[in-house]
Structure 1
Amino acid sequence: MSSGGGGGFCNFYETWLEQLHHLVRQLTAAPRPPTTPDHHYDLDVLVGKVMSHYAEYYRVKSVAAERDTLSVFAAPWASALERSLHWIAGWRPTTVFHLVYSESSILFESHIIDILRGLRTGDLGDLSPSQFRRVSELQCDTVREENAITEEFSEWQDSASELVNARADLKEKIGRLVSVLRKADDLRLRTFQSVVDLLTPQQAAEFLIAAAELQFGVRGWGVNHDRLRGNH
């Protein structure tokens, strides 16, 4: 994909983001906590739709990276602020755990009187000891994988002198970069899905809403900053 292809992914991303806004509005409007079997089913279906939407993003991104790897790393569809936060052309997988702990802590504090009375809220502030243990185990596994991918990417960067001295096969080097990116994106999606899988439908909905709102917020700040600097 030449520069036109990069533009194609930019167009895809704008449409994809608009659809994510629509899905999040549906999640927000769904009854929480779900009080009937139909409510549980509807929430489950919505959570599945959101996760399929993220999977579609990574599928299309993988095709774009195959065609124009460097354009995907440059991420012309992202604001300068978003790019400054990137780890290998996307968000750092361990960010998921900071979000879970942060949302859980905020909700726990807001419901602490009810919890002390023995009432269950069923939300992210009401994670069970088993869920906390599984989140912690998953975090450790993700950190190990993240570090391994970071090391592989660092090795690729260290070999940049070979490109300058024309000692390397450019196609082979770019192929290695695509491989690193795919590993990073695979870890991002797997981590996201693994966290959703260990939550109840209500908790998963709250987590996905929080993750999307963080994404929308960072993008909004970044776009406004770029606009103020005359960076369109």
Structure 2
Amino acid sequence: MAAGSSSFGIEQLRKGCYYQWMGLQAKHIVDLKEALINHHRASGDDHKLGELVGQILNDFKRYAEKRSELSGRSCSSYLSPSWNSSLENGLLWMGGCRPSSFIRVIYALCGSQAETQLSQYLLKIDESVEVNHSGFMSDLTATQLAKINELHMKVIEKEDKITKKSANLQENVADMPIAIAAYTMDLVDGNVVVKDALDKHEEDMAALMAEADKLRFETLRKIVEIVTPVQAAEFLLAGKRLHVSLHEWGRVREEGRFGCARAEDATAAGGGTRKSKRSATC
């Protein structure tokens, strides 16, 4: 009973750590938007933007370190978190997003802003019509793009190595002694050998997730080194909006798909024939 209570407490700490991080994400979005607006008005104060970008990177590093501390011998909670929607869990790679997706966000921003600027230019009728600058990612230089592309290739290579390590650990589950114990015994709960093997598997997965988090942080850090402070702020704002939006989209989709069924199940479990307000509206 004590072990169960302890496990529940750790799970709550992990969930709390995640929601604290999501709250910080929301704050970062507000801070980045305000900083970018002020940057436009002040005709470019890169120093304040640089400080904010550095603070955000440090916040991510602390979050990764905190969840690494909480993973221990139960890394599985982070590989398919109960606090995520199925949409989010389907997109996870080693407990988070792929580092290479950070660079794909840059490519998307760069292409979108360039297209917008071209449209504004083509729609310009005379000199009195102002063409608004839609963003700074479209101003990436050839040198910056070359460095980003080189980083992209290196990150993908490192991702592949981590993925192969993960595949090897998954294959080990079907190896000795777990597979033999499962075949020869009806009940494996009390098998010390199996417990030790599964504990070792969880520890190895936790170490691999920490390695993936390190790659995520290093990728962010190197991107920030390549781009200007204002470009870094735009990139981080886009990435955080994407993260928060996916969380919300997944929640809304699950409510739409399972809300009716859950309400009806709850009514049936209560032995009543009257539908709840929620099930009646589905």
Report the TM-score when normalising by structure 1.
0.89
Instruction: Return the letter of the residue paired with 2:82.
Output: P
2:71 equivalent in structure 1: 65
Deviates more, 1:23-32 or 1:134-143: 23-32
Query: Is 1:126 the equivalent of 2:139?
Result: yes
| Cα separation, 2, equivalents of 1:130 and 1:115 | 25
Considering only aligned residues, what root-mean-square deviation do their CA atoms show, in Å?
Answer: 2.4
Residue 3 of structure 1: how far off its partner (Å) = 2.8
1:171 equivalent in structure 2: 199
| Cα separation, 1, equivalents of 2:140 and 2:222 | 15
C-alpha spacing 1:172/1:15, structure 2 compared with 1 (3 Å): closer
Query: Is 1:194 the equivalent of 2:222?
Result: yes
3-state SS of 1:89 partner: coil
Q: Choose the corresponding residue for 2:118, options 90, 112, 126.
A: 112
1:116-171 Cα deviation digits (max 9, x unpaired): 9xx9x671110001100100110111011000001110011111112232476333
| Cα separation, 2, equivalents of 1:115 and 1:152 | 50
2:165 equivalent in structure 1: 152
2:128 equivalent in structure 1: none
C-alpha spacing 1:97/1:25, structure 2 compared with 1 (3 Å): same
| Cα separation, 2, equivalents of 1:89 and 1:132 | 29
Q: Choose the corresponding residue for 2:104, options 98, 116, 122.
A: 98
Preserved contact between residue 92 and residue 188 of structure 1 (Cα < 8 Å) = yes
Stretches of structure 2 that go unaligned for 5 or more consecutive residues are 1-5, 123-130, 182-192, 263-282
Residue 115 of structure 1: how far off its partner (Å) = 8.9
Query: Is 1:24 the equivalent of 2:29?
Result: yes
| Cα separation, 2, equivalents of 1:76 and 1:136 | 35
Report the TM-score when normalising by structure 2.
0.74
Residue 49 of structure 1: how far off its partner (Å) = 1.7
2:269 equivalent in structure 1: none
Stretches of structure 1 that go unaligned for 5 or more consecutive residues are none
| Cα separation, 2, equivalents of 1:184 and 1:165 | 31
Number of equivalenced pairs: 228
Q: Choose the corresponding residue for 2:89, options 66, 83, 100.
A: 83
Residue 36 of structure 1: how far off its partner (Å) = 5.5
| Cα separation, 1, equivalents of 2:41 and 2:207 | 42
| Cα separation, 2, equivalents of 1:86 and 1:157 | 16
1:181 equivalent in structure 2: 209
Preserved contact between residue 27 and residue 209 of structure 1 (Cα < 8 Å) = yes
Preserved contact between residue 74 and residue 202 of structure 2 (Cα < 8 Å) = no
Preserved contact between residue 88 and residue 184 of structure 1 (Cα < 8 Å) = yes
Report sequence identity in percent. 25
